[in-house]
Amino acid sequence: MELSLKHREARRNGAGWLAVYAASVFAFLYLPIVVLIVYSFNRDGVGGFPPQHLTIEWYRQLAGDQAIWDAVWNSLLVALAATVTALALGLPAALALDRVSFPGKALFRRLVLLPLILPGIITGLSLLMLAVFAGMKLSLWTVLLGHGIALLSVATTELFAGIQKMDRAQEEASLDLGAAYWRTFWRVTLPNLRLPLVAAALLIFTLSVDEIAVSFFLIGRDNTLPLEIWGRLRRGMTPEINAVSTIIFVFSVALILVSYRLRTRGAREPEGAADVLQATFQGDQP
Amino acid sequence: MYSRAYKAAVALPPLFWVALFLLLPYSLLFAHSFWSVASGAIVRQWSLHNYAELAHNWMYAQVLFRSMKIAGAVTLLALLLGYPLAYYLSFCAGPQKQLLYQLVIVPLWVSYLVRGYAWKTILGSDGVLNGFLQYLGIVSTPVEFFLYSPFAVVLTLTHIYTPFTFLPLFASLEHIPRHLVEASQDLGASPRVTFWRVIFPLSLPGLLAGATFAFVLTLGDFLAPLLVGGPSGIMISNVVVSLFGAAYDWPLGAAISVCMLLLVVGILFAIERLEKRWSFH
Amino acid sequence: MAPLLNIRSIAKRFGARHVLHDISLDVNPGEFLTVLGESGSGKTTLLRVIAGFEQPDAGEIWMAGERLDTLPPYRRRVNTVFQHYALFPHLSVFENVAYGLRVQGVAKSEVGSRVEKALGMVKMDSYVASAPSTLSGGQQQRVALARALVNRPRLLLLDEPLSALDANLRRQMQGELKTLQREVGIAFLFVTHDQDEAMALSDRIALLRAGALEQVASPREIYSRPATAYTAQFIGQANLLRAEIANGVARWGALAWPCDAAVGPADFSLRPEHIRFTAAPPADDSHTVCFCASIVRQIFCGATDLLEITCQSGHRLRARVPSRGVLEGEYRFEFSAADAVRLREGGER
């Protein structure tokens, strides 16, 4: 009895230390974000301590900064187009992986997933070479191409997981009731994949807005937002960058909340991102 | 069940797209690595001299070695931070589990660039950390070595990849059936023994996945060194970037990229093997 | 009468595994035909081949003079009730049932009346606006039936449709299914692993074993004249007697009965309920086999007792007798020679 009490106490102690450790990891993860947000309201610039003279001056400056808003607009355009492209190709790719056998399928599966795990620089450079080879001028179009191919892996993995979870008999029932393949696709397959489609779209959109490693090599005269910020960092740092980062942060969190809502409503385990990561390693079962 | 037309309709567009925009570019990268540059133009003559250059010039191996050291350090730190966190969430967090999980995910979606930038504002000589230390009177003059050092690169990348490492760790811990833990306790094992003999071995696939992610993505990183690394924090991808930029030696840059690609694919291949052996399905 | 569906030498394999070997089977118009088999016997695959979800590797299927197996599933005038119903979760009950009519371009006014009639037939007309997920298993089952029948298929395929229901509901649905089939007059091809269900519902049973047809006959025929040892044991219980035939007499231990088959070994099936107690001394009648046996075990089954008995020669049998209290010791038993059914050879596969 005494022994088990001791035992339990030891366990509680262990859990206590672990809780403290976990709390410090959280602190580490959130420290830069908090600093970033706090200093976006700091009149005296991005450094120093403590922050003084809180102001929204930087947000006001940001509001009048045409170059930033152009970049935001470009980023949104690219992200929207990249989402559409990645889904439009990722859905057939996922369907093909699920139900078509063709020579080179294993290679195809690995190739599709490669940009997810490969350092962005390799994908970016290869596409740069293609652009030069084909005589394409670098522009937002080449950036879109880069995102379209890099994020195809995300679309394919997410949608493949959705197809695997779908009830097969649904499509069979539709065919059985006389709807041919195209109709079955529109009336049954697509509605059944609604949640994975929306989840994948949100994920791809967010990743595209953030993307920098691939875009770095493919960008032309017009900047996306991350590259605009990148360019400014070389010239010097002002809290205006904190301000725009804060806005992106709030925007991203809002998107996550939406996608989380969708996921839980679809009664899926909230591990989509982990699924994507893990699938990358298991080439034969994306 | 599916007709030939259906199969062609779903398989051909992605196949075509992947062949054109993935296979062809990678092949071009490969081809460039065997070409050379003469008076500012690429000469399409096949030779191994780029690889010979990489083998002979000690500088490249040194930078690669440093990149691997940094990647190793980041991986280790990310695991040391991520594993206890994942364990705590999975086994001790109780009803707060979902909320805490989301809290780990949120930083993952904060732009990579923004997080690098935040560290830059913290670590700089007139940054937040130095301001804080001076405010407390611990130091009187700013500490210079926080920023522009391998330390800054490791810190920044650890911050970026810890949530990445956490995800598969958490998933694998969550998938451990709880009755196994109970069985171990029932058979007289203390929590410590249960952890090392039951939980840890079963979480190895997740550990492997997380470690691979952190290592591979760090290895190819070039933005963090540019942001916070300084000259002593230069990594292999920075060499590639400069060869593609100012130095204008695409073939040599391509050769380094091919080496990186092979290294990464080799690691993934080895990990896949290991993971097959370590997963109990 | 020409058969409605004509299955000719169908074979199907998945990789190296042969799932169906040389299946030939006819389905007559308006009949209730059950394909009965253990799990893994290939019964669902056979159904899926007919519906068009799987392509056979060999053989042909014809329906009413038209070749069926080359048509895609959506061109076959065959509908399926799926094992787990496969109702479309994003459509209401009404839209689920209307689905087939809409994709075939049936006029709007007609869709409404036909759907309502079909739902009325399965007593689900008050649920038209419900979402499938709000229905119970039995209700979903009815909607699935209506969704298939509303298209007026020539043949309805049912893939273990009752297996997901609990025992009581299942018995009730069996009754309704049979009544419904009589009303609509459509031929049903029903797949199940449950022999009682097969016996209760079917006009004919096709017993499938490891991908080949073992016997096709009416329930009574298949029960009273099983063709093989497998059939005898799969449908009901049976004693298998490995007898030796010589001079027009079959001998199994000390028991003997007339049999005009060729000399050599032969297997017989004897149902436990055909063995009964007898008080009379052995008659001179060679068509009744009498013997003494002691009771080894008695299992009480309500109205009957199942007895395990050992003959004096040491051979064991099972007998089913009306319950009448605890039995011990040796008794005299008899059975009619006609009830010992000679089985086809090569029962083992």
DSSP for residue B66: H
How does the average pLDDT of chain A come out, rounded?
83
* Cα C296 to Cα C331: distance, rounded to the nearest angstrom: 12
Q: What is the mean pLDDT of residues A205-217?
A: 89
A251 has pLDDT over 60 = yes
Comparing CB atoms, the residue among A96, A114, A270 nearest residue B14 is A96
Burial C229-239 (b: 16+ CB within 10 A, else e): bbbbebbbebb
Look at residue C28 in the predicted model and tell me its pLDDT. Answer: 95
CB contact under 8 A, A210 and B112: yes
> Which chain C residues contact residue B1 at CB under 8 A?
52-55, 73
Residue pair B84/A21 in contact by the 8 Å Cβ criterion:
yes
A213 contacts B227? CB cut-off 8 A: no
| Helix, strand, or coil (residue A217) | helix
Distance CA B202, CA C159 (A): 40
| Shortest distance, CA C47 to any CA of chain A (angstroms) | 12
What confidence score (pLDDT) does residue A281 get? 38
Nearest CA in chain A to B218: A119
Q: What is the mean pLDDT of residues A233-250?
A: 83
Comparing C-alpha atoms, which of B170, B165, B167, B168 is closest to residue B214? B165
CA nearest to C104 within chain A: A178
> What is the edge-to-edge ordering of all strands in the sheet holding C239-246?
C255-258, C249-252, C239-246, C264-270, C341-342
Nearest by CB to A172, from C53, C100, C151: name it.
C53
| Closest residue of chain C to A171, computed from CA coordinates | C86
Q: Do C86 and A173 lie within an 8 Å CB cutoff? A: yes
Domain range list for chain A: 66-281
Distance CA C35, CA C189 (A): 7
Mean pLDDT of the region C160-174: 87
Provide, as residue numbers in chain C, all residues whose Cβ is less than 8 Å from the Cβ of A183: 103
Average pLDDT on C252-258 reads 87
* Chain C residue numbers touching A177 (CB-CB < 8 A): 74, 79, 99-100, 103, 147-148, 151
> Distance, in angstroms, between A172 CA and closest chain C CA?
7
Q: Which secondary structure element, helix H or strand E, spans residue B87, and what is its range?
A: helix B58-87
Q: Closest by alpha carbon to A128, among C136, B253, C9?
A: B253
Task: List CB contacts (< 8 A) between B118 and chain A.
Answer: 32-33, 35-36, 245
| Cβ atoms C247, C57 nearer than 8 A | no
Q: What percent of chain C has pLDDT over 90?
A: 63
Q: How much is the average pLDDT of C276-289?
A: 78
Banded pLDDT at A122 (limits 50, 70, 90): very high
Supply φ then ψ for residue C60, to 5 degrees.
Answer: -135, 160
DSSP string, C229-240: HHHHHHSS--EE
Q: What is the pLDDT of residue A1?
A: 42
Name which of C75, C80, C101, C154 to mutate to probe chain A: the one with the most chain A Cβ atoms within 10 A of its Cβ. C80
- Three-point CA angle B131, B133, B137, nearest 5°: 110
A274 CB neighbours in chain B (<8 A) are 167-168, 170-171
Q: At C349, is the pLDDT very low, low, confident or very high (cuts 50, 70, 90)?
A: very low
Could you read off the pLDDT of A72-84 as tens digits, one per residue? Answer: 999 999 999 999 9
The angle at the Cα of B223, spanning B164 to B156, to the nearest 5 degrees, equals 50
CATH number of the domain located at residue range(s) B57-276 in this protein:
1.10.3720.10
**DSSP label of B20:** I
| pLDDT for residue A232 is more than 50 | yes
Contact between C214 and C208 (Cβ < 8 Å): yes
Chains contacting chain A through 3 or more C-beta pairs under 8 A: B, C
Model confidence at A268, pLDDT cuts 50, 70, 90, reads: very low
Q: Are strands C187-192 and C32-37 parallel, antiparallel or unpaired?
A: parallel
Q: Which residue in B168, B223, B22, B27 sits closest to A86, CA to CA?
A: B22
| Cα–Cα dist B60/B54, whole Å | 6
Could you read off the pLDDT of B7-29 as tens digits, one per residue?
898 999 999 999 999 999 999 99
Give burial (CB, 10 Å; 0-12/13-18/19+) of C182: exposed
How confident is the model at residue C346, as a pLDDT? 53
Interface of B with C (CB under 8 A): 1, 3
Q: Which residues of B touch A28 (CB under 8 A)?
A: 81, 159, 162
pTM listed for this prediction: 0.81
Letter for the amino acid at B55?
A
Chain B residues inside the 8 Å CB shell of C52:
1
**Backbone phi and psi for residue B162, each to the nearest 5 degrees, phi listed first:** -60, -45
Per the prediction, chain C carries an average pLDDT of 90
Say how many CB pairs under 8 Å bridge B and C.
6
The pLDDT of residue A276 is above 50:
no
The predicted pLDDT at position C221 comes to 94
What Cα–Cα distance (Å) separates residue B50 from each residue in B67, B74, B271? 20, 30, 29
**Which domains does chain C show, CATH number per domain?**
5-231 (3.40.50.300), 238-342 (2.40.50.140)
* Mean of pLDDT over chain B: 88
* pLDDT over 50 (residue A271): no
Closest partner residue to A179 (CB to CB) among C51, C74, C148 is C74
Residues of A in contact with B1 (CB under 8 A): 172, 175
**DSSP labels, A228-242:** HHHHHHHH---HHHH
* CA of B131 vs chain A CAs: smallest distance (Å): 4
Q: What is the pLDDT of residue A4?
A: 52
Lowest average pLDDT, out of A11-15, B91-95, B249-253, C261-265, goes to: A11-15
The reply to whether C348 touches chain A by the CB within 8 Å rule is no
Could you tell me which chain B residue has the CA closest to the CA of C69?
B1
User: What is the sign of the dihedral through the CA atoms of B148, B151, B157 and B160?
Assistant: negative
Which residues of B are less than 8 Å from C76 in CB distance?
Answer: none
Q: A112 to chain B: which residues are within 8 Å by CB?
A: 14, 18, 22
Residue C85 pLDDT > 60? yes
Contacts of B188 in chain A (CB under 8 A): none
Looking at the complex, report in whole angstroms how far the Cα of residue A42 sits from the nearest Cα belonging to chain B: 12
Per-residue pLDDT of chain B (281 residues; tens, 9 = 90+): 788 888 898 999 999 999 999 999 999 999 999 998 887 788 888 888 889 988 899 899 999 999 999 999 999 999 999 999 999 999 888 888 888 888 888 887 777 888 888 898 888 877 888 888 888 878 888 787 788 888 999 999 999 999 989 999 999 999 988 888 888 877 878 888 888 888 998 899 899 989 998 999 899 899 889 888 888 888 999 999 988 887 788 899 999 999 999 999 999 889 888 878 777 65
Q: Which chains, if any, share at least 3 CB pairs under 8 A with chain B?
A: A, C
Q: Which C residues, 48 through 87, put their C-beta within 8 Å of a C-beta on chain A?
A: 51-53, 72-75, 78-80, 82-84, 86-87
The residue of A175, A176, A188, A190 whose CB has the most chain C CBs within 10 angstroms, and thus the best one to mutate to test that interface, is A176
Nearest beta carbon to residue C151 from set A170, A178, A183:
A178
Gap from A263 CA to chain C (nearest CA, Å): 17
pLDDT for the residue numbered B1: 76
Alpha-carbon gap, residue B89 to B95, rounded angstroms: 10
CATH class given for the domain over A66-281: mainly alpha
Q: Do C89 and A192 touch (CB under 8 A)?
A: yes
Least confident of C49-63, C275-289, C290-304: C275-289
